[in-house]
Amino acid sequence: MVGPGCTLPTEPMSAARREVAETARPILEMDPDAVWAECYNRLVARGPASLKYLAEHPTLQRTCAPDDLRVMLHVSLVRLLVHPAMRPKLSANCLETTLDLLYFDLKVAGRSIGAPRWAERELPTVWHELYPADLDHDLADRIDTEADRRALCQWWQEHRDHPGLVWDGRRLTPRAETVWDLLSRRYADRWSYQPVARATRCAAPPPEAMLFWSATYDYNLTRAACVWLGSSSRPEIRDRLVTLGAHASPVVAHNALFALHYAPDSRIRALFERYKNGPGQGPPEAPPQDEPSVLLISSRDRW
């Protein structure tokens, strides 16, 4: 069943359209190892043709479940390519930009619903599988991907004849000097969760807080920073990452070494592989902690 406001494409898949599809694929499939900002810039370089192809893609032509993650990603990418003043109103958006880095952060009315964890590289079919712990249920209850799909299709029907008028066209240009601080924010490839202590009426003392700790492939802001910095060919960025690999902060040191995994120089990647596979090396099995008693859930996966 074709959704309202959508039209089935009649044009054959040209080389240009195939290039747009391949360029958008890492973002739409949440590739954890791609430089999303660069993928987005290549879409921008194709001009309004990128917007036209994505807005008329078969993904948006049929009804979907209200929690469909793939449709949500597609709708969010189309929205991002539109000038901010012309964007359609949606119940939710999952692609954000900060410091000109593109990353995943599901928001409703500009507020994040929680911290996602993507345990497997295969993309889930529904967005709530990314949230195994607490999330803002009041915000989450407002998410309706099918309604957003219909709204986007209707919006496109009104603007499809003049895509250049709604096209944003602004490239993402991250600057290293503003991105470095993100390496201290969190572990790029680790998800942690500590329940907030709540008052109880029980006379017995409350149980100690439990800390959940495991690998994640979600494309959070810190991961976006690491992948962007690590894939840079600028020698000053590479040298600083090598230096930060011995940083006193375990978070910074871990993220610097994680970033070097994406170095364009194969010799650096080989050194990284040797380091992380050496005795006692690799990502931490547990985060630094002050409390001696925690429940630890560690992933067997390493970088």
Q: Tell me the three state secondary structure of residue 238.
A: helix
Query: Residue 126: beta bridge partners?
Result: 68
Q: What is the pLDDT along the chain (303 residues), one digit of tens a residue?
A: 444 445 545 456 688 889 999 999 999 999 999 999 999 999 999 999 999 999 999 999 999 999 999 999 999 999 999 999 999 999 999 999 999 999 999 999 999 999 999 988 889 999 999 998 878 999 999 999 999 999 999 999 999 999 999 999 999 999 999 999 999 999 999 998 766 554 444 444 444 444 667 899 999 999 999 999 999 999 999 999 999 999 999 999 999 999 999 999 888 877 777 766 544 444 455 454 433 322 232 333 333
Q: How do beta strands 111-112 and 190-193 pair?
A: unpaired
Q: Are 187 and 287 in contact (CB under 8 A)?
A: yes
User: What distance separates the 2 farthest-apart alpha carbons in the chain?
Assistant: 71
3-class SS of residue 139:
helix
Burial environment of residue 202 by CB neighbours within 10 A (0 to 12, 13 to 18, 19 or more): exposed
Q: What is the pLDDT of residue 163?
A: 93
Confidence (pLDDT) at 275: 62
Six-digit token pair at 142? 């407002």
pTM of the model: 0.83
SS3 123: coil
Which among 1, 2, 3, 5 has a CA at the least distance from the CA of 155? 5
Q: Is the dihedral of CA 98, 101, 102, 106 positive or negative?
A: negative
Q: Which DSSP helix (H) or strand (E) runs through 146?
A: helix 145-159
- Tell me what pLDDT residue 193 has: 76
The pLDDT of residue 268 is: 82
Give 243: exposed, middle or buried? Use CB within 10 Å, 0-12, 13-18, 19+.
Answer: exposed
How far is it, in rounded angstroms, from Cα 166 to Cα 57?
18
Name the residue among 109, 105, 79, 77 with its Cα closest to residue 92.
109
